[in-house]
């Protein structure tokens, strides 16, 4: 079920009413309702993949008891069993065909012809997210940070709570499970914050991201005939398209969870206001970045084993992060580009210089140095997004080459208006809005004028509703991160 669909607009209020009706009953009934609702939400795509989700959930629930054993040998055995199970699921559904094709190419290069079996199966939605939920649970038990949970329903809700099930944020057992196990009390202020987040997230997806997609797709599909300025506008447009698409989903997820009395982890903290690549990765897809840091980077030794090991671990993290996004060389290349951008900061010990407040936290505007840092970081990130957007690396390189070659051959083209300027109509208002609310990503900061707040909300709602009914006979556009 898509957030930006008519079925969800019916599903959510029904579950909300039943959920709070049960608040006077036992907590287990509320959790059972959430589990059933989550399975319905997920099964809306394909009921057959519910079996995979339920099996994955059950196995990690059972492994948890083994990992919690006092015998470290037994605990380590079940930990590796869980890792093998989760990576095995990902390997079969997400990575098998990629490796089969790579082995075929490698053997053919030395004159050996093979005919590997290629699996004709769809990628289950959200598989990369719910497998990481399960692994984080058993990792935390192994590290002694929590005990195995005995109530299966509570654990299952942690894995597949419907707001975060298919595209995150990637939750931690120590953060979400206590909320599931304790009684929730309806809070009007929390619900109001949730509705504002949902409205803003829906606007970013339905109006901005989907609006940008029209121009962006046209530019990328016809790049070989366009000017350098137009290609640059296309790349910038995609940067904001993927940001609004994914952060919009995360804000709808956070807002929906608030309606049910839950506080999920933040996933985006205004990443395009970052002053360097290190800060960008502390603000972009935060739940994934922190997951890799805690469960891969630190166990590998982090930065405590010397610069050489720190460089090695950094490249491993970025390459794995790229591969997590998809079984394709372009994603690995995208990760390598970010690793190369991060490396100078690491070597100069400047990778943690922006770890606290967002830029110009106590000022209305950034200074010139901060502005140039933000623009430079955004330019680098936008360049990397080209390789994320185009699956064929040769085509991605040609896209970049055409920008450079066209610019040198015809520098006067920048005097003329480039194509793709339509993206600015979406981007500029978004930047202004994000700058206004940049101090807290979890709360949509209202203006001092109540009437203006209501007017803005009503206008946004009208735009969203109009879009819903305009394309009522068409399939709603999916979220980009559903592919991963």
Q: Choosing from 115, 133, 175, 325, which is the catalytic residue?
A: 325
325 is catalytic: yes
Contact 256, 12 (CB under 8 A): yes
Q: In the 3-class helix/strand/coil scheme, how is the chain assigned residue by residue?
A: CCCCCHHHHHHHHHHHHHHHHHHHCCHHHHHHHHHHHHHHHHHCCCCHHHHHHHHHHHHHHHHHHHHCCCCHHHHHHHHHHHHHHHHHHHHHHHHHHHHHHHHHHHHHHCCCCCCCCCCCCCCCCCHHHHHHHHHHHHHHHHCCCCCCCCCHHHHHHHHHCCCCCCCCCCCCHHHHHHHHHCCCCCCHHHHHHHHHHHHHHHHHHHHHHHHHHHHHHHHHHCHHHCCHHHHHHHHHHHHHHHHHHHHHHHHHHHHHHHHCCCCCCCCCCCHHHCCCHHHHHHHCCHHHHHHHHHHHHCCCCCCCCCHHHHHHHHHHHHHHHHHHHCCCHHHHHHHHHHHHHHHHHHHCCCCCCCCCCCCCCCCCCCCHHHHHHHHHHHHHHHHHHHHHHCCCHHHHHHHHHHHHHHHHHCHHHHHCCCCCCHHHHHHHHHHHHHHHHCCCCCCCCCCCCHHHHHHHHHHHHHHHHHHHHHCCCCCCCCCHHHHC
Q: Which of 244, 253, 482, 277 is nearest to 378 (CA)?
A: 277
Contact 207, 286 (CB under 8 A): no
* Active-site annotation, residues: 325
């Amino acid at each position: 079920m898509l957030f930006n669909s008519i079925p969800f607009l019916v599903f959510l209020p029904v579950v909300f009413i039943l959920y709070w009706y049960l608040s006077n009953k036992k907590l287990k009934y509320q959790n059972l309702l959430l589990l059933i609702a989550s399975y319905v939400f997920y099964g809306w795509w394909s009921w057959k993949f519910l079996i995979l989700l339920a099996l994955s959930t059950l196995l990690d629930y059972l492994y948890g008891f083994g990992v919690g054993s006092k015998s470290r040998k037994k605990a380590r055995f079940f930990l590796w069993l869980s890792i093998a199970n989760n990576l095995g699921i990902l390997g079969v559904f997400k990575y098998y065909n990629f490796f089969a094709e790579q082995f075929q190419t490698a053997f053919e290069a030395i004159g050996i012809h093979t005919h590997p079996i290629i699996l004709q199966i769809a990628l289950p939605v959200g598989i990369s997210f719910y497998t990481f939920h399960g692994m984080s649970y058993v990792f935390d038990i192994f590290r002694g940070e929590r005990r195995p949970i005995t109530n299966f329903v509570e654990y299952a809700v942690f894995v597949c709570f419907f707001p975060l099930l298919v595209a995150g944020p990637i939750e931690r057992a120590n953060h979400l499970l206590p909320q599931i196990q304790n009684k929730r009390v309806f809070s009007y202020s929390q619900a109001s914050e949730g509705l504002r987040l949902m409205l803003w997230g829906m606007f970013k997806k339905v109006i901005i991201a989907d609006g940008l997609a029209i121009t962006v797709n046209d530019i990328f599909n016809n790049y070989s005939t366009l000017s350098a300025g137009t290609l640059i506008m296309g790349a910038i447009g995609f940067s904001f398209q993927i940001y609004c698409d994914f952060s919009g989903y995360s804000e709808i997820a956070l807002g929906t969870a608030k309606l049910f009395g839950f506080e999920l982890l933040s996933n985006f903290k205004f990443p395009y206001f970052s002053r360097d690549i290190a800060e960008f990765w502390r603000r972009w897809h935060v739940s994934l970045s922190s997951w890799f840091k805690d469960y891969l980077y630190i166990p590998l030794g982090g930065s405590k084993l010397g610069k050489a090991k720190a460089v090695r671990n950094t490249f491993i993290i970025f390459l794995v992060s790229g591969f997590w996004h998809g079984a394709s060389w372009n994603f690995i290349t995208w990760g390598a580009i970010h690793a190369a951008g991060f490396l100078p900061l690491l070597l100069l010990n400047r990778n943690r210089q922006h770890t606290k407040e967002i830029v110009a936290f106590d000022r209305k505007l950034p200074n010139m140095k901060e502005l140039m840092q933000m623009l430079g970081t955004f330019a680098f990130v936008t360049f990397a997004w080209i390789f994320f957007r185009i699956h064929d690396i040769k085509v991605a390189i040609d896209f970049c080459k055409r920008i450079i070659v066209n610019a040198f051959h015809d520098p006067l083209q920048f005097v003329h208006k480039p194509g793709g300027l339509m993206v600015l109509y979406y981007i500029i208002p978004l930047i202004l809005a994000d700058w206004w609310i940049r101090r807290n990503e979890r709360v949509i900061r209202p203006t001092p004028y109540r009437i203006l707040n209501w007017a803005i909300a009503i206008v946004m709602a009208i735009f969203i509703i109009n879009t819903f009914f305009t394309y009522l006979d068409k399939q709603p556009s999916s979220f980009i991160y559903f592919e991963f």
